Chains A and B, each alone.
Chain A
Amino acid sequence: MKALCWQGKEQVGVETVSDPHIINPHDAVVRITSTAICGSDLHLFDGYIPSMEQGDILGHEFMGEVVEIGSAVRNLAVGDRVVVPFPIACGHCYFCEHELWSLCDNTNPNAWMAEKLFGYSPAGIFGYSHMLGGYAGGQAQYARVPFADIGPIKVPERLSDEQVLFLSDIFPTGYMAAENCDIKPGDTVAVWGCGPVGQFAIKSAFLLGAGRVIAIDRFPERLRLARESARAETINYEEVDDVPGQLALMTGGRGPDACIDAVGMEAHGTSLLARMDAAKQKLMLETGRPNVLREAIRACRKGGVLSVAGVYGGFLDTIPFGAAFNKGLRIATGQCHVQRYLRPLLDRVQRNEIDPSFIITHRLSLDEAPRAYEIFRDKKENCVKVVLDPWAAPKAA
């Protein structure tokens, strides 16, 4: 089959690899019909997540048709059309039973690596470094799905791939970011980052009763999408002196009730600290550029909530934790517990409350994926979200 492989920093390529097969009793093999590139894949692409190896198959947002099932899988049949959540969960450990699916105890075969860095290991994730399992990902024609009796959700035929594909990651991730904000009717929520997760966080905040959502980014097309599709107010951070100051002005000196970081470890910024982050990251003295985290902590109102959906992988410098402590902020973080949201969000899609396909800007073939990574990372061609068809013939360029 064809698969997109990580070949080194800023280097990915489509290679011909062997087809996946059933290894464990709870496995299934899925023929992938649609797959997407996630913003967090860019951290891998840029080489900021440790323990990647040349030849690793990327991708954790995918869906398709079940073509083979293991001996212990009872709830799926060959031919079922499924969306696969990105965290792999066993369904039976303490964490799965408490709906903390992305913290599953039993699905990371390389748990010892994560234990060294984090103390305890979270769940394995498709195509997201050996520290998080080393599982082959879904930017390919087929994928092996471990614990297929727990994760994948069957989707009705009448919904298109594009309407349900994002249930695999970004829609639930944005939704959880908003849910973590503990929104009361009329609350003001600030969202840093108007990429796909940010857009879903904005929409979800409104779905959960927010009165105002203020979105922060620097790309006009993303800010326009936030205004027009998700009816947010926007701040272009390159046009204001100070984002927390601007937010204070907009909220009458009170600050947003909740702040969502939908950017993560590769934040851009115009402040002195942001420039220092960039320099330190180049010198490998820091694994993240936490500029958004700093701004969100400073901007949040007293007793407010900081919800972090953007991915962080290692160590961060100069986090104003004193501000977080003295303002009594509550902090909610973590990879999304996708399995928890699959059913309720699929219901919302079926009831036409939201059509997640609004963020797609590029539909390409798998062969065009290396170019797609570049335009997505560099925000060229107004790129917000790329969906890949693993079976389409490459367009003659």
Chain B
Amino acid sequence: MAEGIAAPGSPPQSQVSRSSQDQQRFGIAAGAAAAGGLLLAGLWLHAWPRVLLLSAAGCLGFRAFRAQQRGEPLRLWAQRGTNIESEDAISILRTPQELYQSWNDTELLRQIIPYCRGVERSGQRMRFTIERPVTGAVEMESEITQELENRLLAWEAVPGAEIQSAGEVRFEPDPSGRGSIVRLRLATGPSGWLRGFGLSAKQQAHTELRRFKQLMEAGEIATIQGQPHGQRSAMARLERLVPEPLGSDIMPAEYARPRRRGPVGEPLERERAIRPAREAI
């Protein structure tokens, strides 16, 4: 990915000086030592205190190890304003043009985003109504910051919005000639998953891409919501209080295309159709 997305509140990148490197090393070493101490104390104690201390030792040790691996300072919790960023990609047997148009269709976009009840667009502003599984409905407003026809769309939450998030979707022709690759990057504040979709940025990006692929290739989003089942266990009934995202109700307009099925090994009609389109970009 060439340029990063302008995520809200991201700390400016700066050169790491020698003294701060030493501080980092010291912090990590102290963290590892503390984890060791907790481990020993945990082994000495019994029953619940042991479980508690050993878990704490594990968490601290893991964080220290990860900080050392990544060359970051050891942090015990996420800093306020830190962004959680995630990128995912999926291949879809459609041209970048078709995919770009469908992503821009608010009715289709509503079905792609899990738990989304409505999408409205006026000019460069977009408003999403998300029906969150546990915490109820929330409105999100964002502004389109970059738009390259058939290639890219980037957006960012409007200043002062309740949920701070930003994202970017790119439509690239697949070099193998099999349709397109869609890349989605999402960034949210640390509590975005809780206040926003009820999903982490990673889950959110993955789910949206998969739903988009299903809608564009198969013409509907696979679901089992509403099918019959026998008596569920108490645990399963509790889990089901959080409903799964629904399937699709509207198909892409251009879905009414002939069924294509080529013999194994032969280039398929669709791939032949996509290749010239790819060269045109």
Contacts and interface: CB of A to CB of B under 8 A. Distances in A.
Interface of A: 1, 3, 5-7, 13, 15, 17-21, 23-26, 53-57, 72, 88, 90-94, 96-99, 105-109, 111-112, 124, 133-136, 140, 144, 146-147
B105 to A, nearest CB: 17
B39 to A, nearest CB: 26
A-B pairs, 9 with minimum CB distance: A5-B230, A90-B218, A55-B230, A15-B230, A106-B218, A54-B233, A17-B228, A55-B232, A55-B229
A105 B229 contact: no
A140 B228 CA distance: 10
11 contacts: A23-B227, A54-B230, A54-B232, A55-B231, A57-B230, A88-B222, A91-B261, A98-B264, A109-B244, A134-B224, A146-B222
A106 B213 contact: yes
Interface string B80-94: 000000000001010
Nearest to A340: B264
Nearest to B247: A24
Contact of A25 (B207, B220, B261, B262): B220
B82 to A, nearest CB: 25
B223 A92 contact: no
A57 B220 CA distance: 23
Nearest to B231: A55
B233 A111 contact: no
Contact of B222 (A21, A112, A124): A124
Contacts of B270: 97
B214 interface: yes
A44 to B, nearest CB: 14
Contacts of B46: none
A25 B228 contact: no
Contacts of A13: 230
B281 interface: no
Given A92-B93, A94-B178, A105-B213, A136 B219 contact: no
A311 B85 CA distance: 39
Given A24-B222, A109-B224, A146-B222, A54 B262 contact: no
A147 B230 contact: no
B277 interface: no
Nearest to A5: B230
A92 B229 contact: no
B151 interface: no
Given A25-B251, A55-B236, A107 B230 contact: no
Contacts of A18: 228
Given A55-B236, A92-B217, A105-B217, A17 B230 contact: yes
Most-contacted residue by chain B among A98, A112, A140 (CB, 10 A): A98
Given A72-B251, A93-B218, A107-B218, A54 B236 contact: yes
A53 B231 CA distance: 10
Nearest to B214: A106
A24 B228 contact: no
Contacts of B203: 112
B18 interface: no
Contact of A5 (B219, B229, B248): B229
A19 B228 contact: yes
B222 A91 contact: no
Contacts of B220: 24-26, 72
B213 A15 contact: no
B179 to A, nearest CB: 8
A91 B100 CA distance: 23
B70 interface: no
A56 B230 contact: yes
Nearest to B230: A5
B226 A23 contact: yes
Contact of A91 (B214, B251, B259): B259
A124 B227 CA distance: 15
A25 B178 CA distance: 26
Contact of B229 (A25, A94, A136): A136
A54 B218 contact: no
B30 interface: no
Contacts of A94: 91, 93, 178
Given A55-B233, A133-B224, 17 more contacts: A5-B230, A15-B230, A25-B251, A53-B236, A57-B229, A57-B230, A88-B222, A90-B214, A92-B218, A93-B218, A94-B93, A99-B264, A105-B213, A106-B213, A109-B247, A140-B228, A144-B227
A20 B227 contact: yes
B217 A56 contact: no
A135 B93 CA distance: 25
Contacts of B261: 91, 96-97
A93 B259 CA distance: 11
B228 A1 contact: yes
Given A5-B231, A55-B231, A94-B91, A21 B217 contact: no
Contacts of B93: 92-94, 97
Given A25-B220, A93-B217, A105-B213, A3 B262 contact: no
B227 A15 contact: no
Nearest to A92: B217
A102 to B, nearest CB: 14
A217 B226 CA distance: 43
A332 to B, nearest CB: 15
Most-contacted residue by chain A among B230, B244, B247, B262 (CB, 10 A): B230
B70 to A, nearest CB: 23
A25 B221 CA distance: 10
Contacts of B232: 53-55
A145 B69 CA distance: 49
Nearest to B271: A97
Given A92-B218, A109-B222, A23 B229 contact: no
Given A54-B232, A94-B91, A21 B251 contact: no
A3 B228 contact: yes
Nearest to B227: A136
Contact of A56 (B210, B229, B247): B229
Nearest to B225: A23
B227 to A, nearest CB: 5
Contacts of B233: 53-55
